[in-house]
Amino acid sequence: MIYKDKIAATIAQVVDLEVEAVQRILETPKDLKMGDLAFPCFQLAKTMRKAPPMIASEVAERLTPALQAAGVPVGSVQVVGAYINLFLDQQAVAKDVIATILTEKAGYGSADIGGGAHVTIDLSSPNIAKPFSMGHLRSTVIGNAQANLLAKIGYQPVRINHLGDWGTQFGKLIVAYKKWGSEAAVQQNPIPELLKLYVQFHDEAKADPSLEDQGREWFKKLEDGDQEAQQLWQWFRDESLKEFNKTYALMGIKFDSLHGEAFYNDKMDRVVNELEAKGLLVEDEGAMVVKLDEYDMPPCLIKKSDGATLYATRDLAAALYRQDTYQFAKALYVVGNEQRLHFRQVFKVLEKMGYGWAAEMHHIPFGMMLKDGKKMSTRKGKVILLDEVLQAAIADVKKVIAEKNPNLANKDQVAEQVGVGAIIFHDLKNYRMNDINFSWEEMLTFEGETGPYVQYTHARANSILRKAGYVESSDVVLPAGALEGAEAWAVVTLLLNFPNVIKRAGEEFDPSALGKWIIDLAQAFNKFYANVRVLAEEEAVKNARLQLVAATATVLHEGLRLLGLEAPAEM
């Protein structure tokens, strides 16, 4: 809330507390009848040695003139037991917030917290030659939304697709391709064909374990620069990226870097040498590790007994490269919850190496995308392809449009925007740590707390403005009765809180905070539209209400954009 900081600072002066302490206990009542903000006085009882209700009465008496002097538009200050309930001046606040939105437009809610500093964001990161499955959706959309939110509060996000383009699986795939593959089949349908070969390899290896040895041999050839192995690997990578890029384009997601695991092959010696030079590398059962006993963690493996490097070595090399390249203020890794220990180890190793910036490296974990309550497995071929889900959602929306609005302009474009939006929003409305069970029915429902519902609300607001012949103006005049009532105030208070929601979602790495807030705004707006006659007879009243509609449409559009969704003007 724009006024919350001012109110907290004023209360802090009156009760002689730190501003941060006041901000922690200042509440937003669930029932608007209890005020817009409430300050409980229980904590003051120890220092003031009085009963909390008595303290509340004394503080409230001094607070009213102090708030007026600070320029806070407070309508009244009421005491209920130990609580001081603050009611804002609804007309003054409505006028202020609507004028601010209509002036700043898409800039509303922006902040300069980041000061233009870089934040690297490791997101998506599918494995080459394997399908882009629903399992990859979460990292992709959470990471993209987080990047948008950080840009909104003044950081410069660097989206990195750390592709899984190295490892023994490529040796296995080379063996499978040479034994059972066809160049024409791969070119015609790259990912499904490569997946079929990968699954076939594991099926055949159950009966013939020597295939696993052949796979390791071919990966060793690849590591050693064998020409045939490298050509096949590069071809698998190129064909996979062509397919991935179609899906990314459909979702409107772009990357600043496609450096995958293979990129760091020649950068790991630096890590090993530096760890040795700093006396951090020790031998443990033939392997080289960094001990992390003081953090109650197992050792971080840097080199296996056969000399092969591991994921940790690669991630350490990547961190050093990214700090050298971008001088990041923060580094985020949007990777599943099962990798929690791995990232804790990597960050602690960097800290032991003496890099202070390791304190600003954050693992952004998330729950799994499940099917029938179980984890999806590429090896067993039990995957749901993301592109198939997106296409099915688009087809579903096309049917709805054909039934409800067959004369809609740009039908195909709108179907794409709404179908893709349904899939993205279904993920982002959930807190990222929650597991999500894949469900066609829930994901493709276009009612209730869904992306299409919010998009439709935005389109409806635009439709009202078009039909009314609304002329844009940031000069807000509120005649008596124009925006009075609980329905209008519910919309105004949500709009007022938008900058605070953006700040919290960005700083706490929680796009779902914005997802939930957008649903609340859409619901509040629809309630307002259902109960208040927007197109009133009196011109000044009608214009004021249309300005609230315009402000709502502007903020819905920006909120959807930040989550990675389009906002069609017509549906």
User: Could you tell me the maximum CA-CA distance found in the chain, to the nearest angstrom?
Assistant: 85
SS3 365: coil
Torsion angle defined by CA atoms of residues 322, 324, 330 and 332, in that order, rounded to the nearest 10 degrees: 10
CATH superfamily of 4-88: Arginyl tRNA synthetase N-terminal domain (3.30.1360.70)
Angle made by CA atoms 549, 553, 558, in degrees to the nearest 5: 150
Residues 152 and 111: beta-carbon distance below 8 Å: yes
Pairing of strands 300-303, 287-290: antiparallel
Q: Low-confidence residues of the chain, pLDDT below 50?
A: none
CATH 1.10.730.10 placement within the chain: 386-563
As a whole number of angstroms, the distance between CA 100 and CA 92 comes to 12
As a whole number of angstroms, the distance between CA 222 and CA 228 comes to 8
For 33-136, where are the alpha helices, taking DSSP H only?
45-48, 52-69, 90-104
- Residue 364's pLDDT is 97
As a whole number of angstroms, the distance between CA 300 and CA 287 comes to 10
Indicate the DSSP class of residue 533. Answer: -
As a whole number of angstroms, the distance between CA 436 and CA 421 comes to 17
As a whole number of angstroms, the distance between CA 323 and CA 331 comes to 9
CATH 3.30.1360.70 placement within the chain: 4-88
Of the candidates 119, 111, 114, 112, the one whose C-alpha atom is nearest the C-alpha of residue 360 is: 119
Pairing of strands 74-80, 83-88: antiparallel
CATH fold for domain 386-563: Isoleucyl-tRNA Synthetase; Domain 1 (1.10.730)
Per-residue model confidence as pLDDT tens digits over 472-523: 999 999 998 899 999 999 999 999 999 999 999 999 999 999 999 999 999 9
CATH code for the domain defined by 118-264+326-371: 3.40.50.620
As a whole number of angstroms, the distance between CA 122 and CA 128 comes to 16
The separation between CA 317 and the C-alpha centre of its own chain, rounded to angstroms, equals 26
Distances (CA, A) of 502 to 37, 422, 480, 487, 523: 19, 21, 32, 23, 19
- Residue 382's pLDDT is 63
The string of DSSP codes covering 251-313 is HT---SB---GGGGGGGHHHHHHHHHHTT-EEEETTEEEE--GGGT---EEEE-TTS-B-HHH
